[in-house]
């Protein structure tokens, strides 16, 4: 049952169980690893170096665990620690930022009854643009 501070019941959803298991234990400063844009929720998975995405409006209207999160895998790996996720204003790109780099991820198209990426496909490889590392040294 959802508490007063968790009216949508997010705490019981699988995306947050995975996020709790994959969060770094040695974080020394604040990291913004959860971000929302319109009805999409993005969570950085530091252990698997991927983004978990979920349409929170569709998940809140459906029964518990009937709508699973999707895993967005960057095509090229990041060689820096991700500390912040920033979606673009139109929701077509997602920036992964850290102290030694920035990666831009091109998000796939959304379609289907639940407004998920590629009609709810579980794992999606996304085109990635990495900025040169020497710009941040």
Place of tokens 């999707």: 70
CB 114 within 8 A of CB 55: yes
pLDDT one-digit tens code per residue, 87-105? 999 989 999 998 889 999 9
pLDDT one-digit tens code per residue, 24-50? 666 555 566 889 898 899 999 888 899
pLDDT at 126 over 90: yes
Contacts of 61 (CB under 8 A, 6+ apart): none
Model confidence, pTM: 0.79
What integer is the mean pLDDT of 67-83? Answer: 89
* Domain boundaries of the chain, sorted by first residue: 10-136
């Amino acid at each position: 049952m959802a508490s007063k501070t968790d009216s949508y019941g997010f705490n019981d959803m699988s995306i947050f169980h995975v996020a709790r298991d994959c969060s770094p234990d040695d974080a020394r400063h604040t990291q913004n690893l959860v971000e929302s844009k319109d009805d999409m929720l993005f969570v950085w998975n530091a252990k698997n170096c991927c983004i978990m995405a979920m349409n929170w409006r569709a998940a809140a209207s459906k029964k518990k665990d009937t709508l699973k999160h999707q895993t967005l895998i960057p095509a090229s790996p990041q060689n820096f620690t991700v500390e912040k996720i920033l979606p673009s204003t139109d929701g077509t790109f997602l920036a992964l930022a850290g102290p030694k780099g920035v990666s831009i991820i091109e998000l796939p198209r959304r379609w289907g009854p639940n407004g998920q990426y590629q009609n709810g496909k579980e794992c999606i490889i996304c085109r990635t643009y990495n900025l040169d590392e020497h710009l941040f040294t």
